[in-house]
Amino acid sequence: MRNLECRTHHSLVLQRLGEPECLALAWKVASEDDLDRAKRWFQGKDLPATFVERHGQGRTLRTCDTLGMPLEFYSSMAPAACKLQQYDGYRGARIQRLDHFNCFSPDVQKSYEFWSELGFRLTEYTVSEEANNTLWAVWLQRKGGVHDIAFTNGRGPRLHHFAGWVPSVSDLVHCCDLLSTTGYLGNIERGLGRHGIGNALFLYLLDPDGHRIELFCSDYLTVDPDLVPKRWEFRDARRQTLWGMPAPRSWFEHGTRFPNVGLTDPLINPQPVLAH
């Protein structure tokens, strides 16, 4: 599947399996040399790293992070025509591009250190003052937005959601109108609302397999090298919901498993903040 802005073969692959799982989170690197460099980097950390075949794309490195989350890296993919200005063919949620992944981590500090060393930069973070300023969540970026990947304290590792970027809040409203009139009203899990974190306007859905999808817009640029990461305190409910209804309990507890990856309880209490 491809988003409207996608100029290559695919941005999302769905595969029929026995259980709903996330087989890999994938990233593009700048060159074939970077793939070889990445393989050495992961092997240097005693992590498995092998090249695999993937339809529609070039050499693909399959590996994992220190928690066991399956990762893939590629540098080339077959080109395809961009559909951004084929407005007469727009259907559904009108997702323009795949924006980020968000994962439960049982040890956010460990995830932060690993992904920072890999080259991701911190934009916003939450600390729990009640737990000796332990990191509760981090947002990390490569492309100059608020995040390409985020980690939140919780039983994991699991994928919490992947997010599609839409140009405006009217696209989020349009999606609600579509869902409510096509038999999918019950698939809306949370929103509309605005997160304090990232300034994001959001809508969260569960697909028929239970994979969570966020549709969002209205984050901000982070390309300034002097950007100071924004700190949030766990007790500040505005970080989750600047306005809108509080998140349901499922939003804190439900996630997508990675295959053959054991789950670990978080280091600190994941008790959610459910109300202002």
On whether the CB atoms of residues 228 and 266 are closer than 8 A, the answer is no
**Strand runs labelled E in the chain:** 25-28, 50-52, 60-64, 70-74, 97-105, 121-128, 134-141, 149-153, 158-165, 188-194, 201-206, 212-217, 230-233, 256-257
Q: In the complex with Fe ion, which residue's Cβ is closer, 189 or 214? A: 214
On whether the CB atoms of residues 9 and 77 are closer than 8 A, the answer is yes
- According to CB under 5 A, which one of 4, 163, 205, 268 is a site residue for Fe ion? 163
Least separation in angstroms between residue 149's CB and Fe ion is 10
Q: In the complex with Fe ion, which residue's Cβ is closer, 70 or 191? A: 191
Least separation in angstroms between residue 35's CB and Fe ion is 27
| Site track 95-114 with Fe ion (rule: CB under 5 A), x = hit | -------x------------
Is position 219 an interface residue for Fe ion (rule: CB under 5 A)? no
Tell me 58's DSSP state: S
CA distance 8 to 248: 36
CA distance 95 to 217: 10
Least separation in angstroms between residue 138's CB and Fe ion is 13
- According to CB under 5 A, which one of 120, 214, 239, 240 is a site residue for Fe ion? 214
Least separation in angstroms between residue 139's CB and Fe ion is 9
- List residues near Fe ion by CB under 5 A: 102, 163, 214
